[in-house]
Structure 1
């Protein structure tokens, strides 16, 4: 059973009937907006992106994009929410493919693999500094869409797996261990993305740093040896 919760819908009430073709076309248009927005955010940052520019990038008028998103923060939220669910699904898949005692290393690896393969999306989700007003608007939407954080839920489930297997002391709260592991994974990913174009003659490879850090954390959370 996957630990990944289903995000709640941001809309209530019955949806108007649409033909399958119309729904597919609408989704294709939205995906074009998402692709253009990711590219623009990577090039120009939050301040340099407007809905008009996103529309122009993929050949649509400003009126067309405003039919899908009320403002820039709404578009950015949808971009991040889409990738957040994809990241959570990647972690859940990694967890489901392992024995309980091995889920945490596998999910830690899956987190870094996803971040490295989706650098622009990861930067948007967790590394882009936003104006306070945009942060508040996105946070409000986030709490409505994700009553339970899907990424955190998978990490906590992995901690519980390892506690049941005797690898993590049971007096540690799963959410505390998950927070520490998430901090470590994000730190590795953020450093790798931030400094990807700089020379690294004195850096150990990411896989080595990942192994050392995860090993240290798991040793710190392990049960004390009997005296």
Structure 2
């Protein structure tokens, strides 16, 4: 390995140390309570060194969110070839809850941190570069694609078919509730018996699906005979 390659590898390693320390501090103490100096102290670097990699705290937070959402979307994409949209939604919700259990700091940062305008400020070119609206790179777009296919196949309740965003966010809220409990509960909860993220997630999702899907679709799902349908929404950018 040449000198240039070693330098690049060292820079990448330093950048990763900064990101890992920032993620842990933001998730534990909250974004507002953490300064660039605290992040530098955590990895025994000078604050000046961090500014070589990130222009400010918001820039650092934006990069963390991008990387962590990308990691989640990669995990979710393993279900992209599941033909039936309801089954795909079911698997996506299970994956969301599992991601929270396996990566609690990532989850807290992504979904339980109050965002500020500077954290999410992007122009159209940057949003496009980061994959907004592309189901293969944007987890929300992937969920929207599943919902739009379910609507196109007549599986969603008629009174909700005009609003796929509402359906997607109802489904998201159900999975998010279980995932949030998973990452915030005590390990040995003294006040109640925790039913477990897997069992509770499945029961919650089925209850939510029964609320938004037509009875016929749920009957077929419950009986395990929901057919593998032809996908009716093309791959690519989701309609919003």
TM-score w.r.t. the length of structure 1 is 0.76
- Partner residue of 2:168? 178
State how far apart, in whole Å, the 1-side matches of 2:58 and 2:204 are.
Answer: 35
Greater displacement, 118-127 / 191-200: 191-200
The answer to whether the aligner puts 1:69 opposite 2:54 as a matched pair is yes
State how far apart, in whole Å, the 1-side matches of 2:37 and 2:154 are.
Answer: 55
- Partner residue of 2:229? none
Equivalences, count = 203
- Partner residue of 1:210? 201
For the residue of structure 1 that corresponds to 2:121, the secondary structure is helix
State how far apart, in whole Å, the 1-side matches of 2:28 and 2:169 are.
Answer: 31
1:52-100 alpha-carbon deviations (Å, 9 max, x no partner): 221232232221111111221211221111101111221122333x332
- Partner residue of 2:141? 153
Within a 5 Å distance, the mapping from 1:100-179 to structure 2 comes to 100-101=84-85, 102-129=87-114, 135-141=116-122, 145-147=126-128, 148=132, 150-163=138-151, 167-169=155-157, 171-179=161-169
Q: Conserved in 2, the CA contact under 8 Å of 1:77 and 1:142?
A: no
4+ long deviations beyond 6 Å: none
State how far apart, in whole Å, the 2-side matches of 1:187 and 1:169 are.
Answer: 23
- Partner residue of 1:192? 182
1:83-125 alpha-carbon deviations (Å, 9 max, x no partner): 01111221122333x3324211111111111111111111112
Are residues 220 and 75 of structure 1, via their aligned partners in 2, closer, same or farther at CA, if it must alter by over 3 Å?
Answer: same
For the residue of structure 2 that corresponds to 1:27, the secondary structure is helix
Q: What displacement does 1:155 show? A: 0.5
TM-score w.r.t. the length of structure 2 is 0.73
State how far apart, in whole Å, the 1-side matches of 2:163 and 2:5 are.
Answer: 46
State how far apart, in whole Å, the 2-side matches of 1:116 and 1:109 are.
Answer: 11
Within a 5 Å distance, the mapping from 1:39-50 to structure 2 comes to 39-50=24-35
Q: Conserved in 1, the CA contact under 8 Å of 2:171 and 2:209?
A: no
Are residues 112 and 142 of structure 1, via their aligned partners in 2, closer, same or farther at CA, if it must alter by over 3 Å?
Answer: farther
For the residue of structure 2 that corresponds to 1:146, the secondary structure is helix
Q: What displacement does 1:169 show? A: 4.6
State how far apart, in whole Å, the 2-side matches of 1:205 and 1:174 are.
Answer: 30
State how far apart, in whole Å, the 1-side matches of 2:123 and 2:113 are.
Answer: 16
Q: Conserved in 2, the CA contact under 8 Å of 1:100 and 1:165?
A: no
Structure 2 unpaired stretches of 5+? 217-240
Greater displacement, 80-89 / 33-42: 33-42
Q: Conserved in 2, the CA contact under 8 Å of 1:52 and 1:62?
A: yes
State how far apart, in whole Å, the 1-side matches of 2:123 and 2:97 are.
Answer: 23
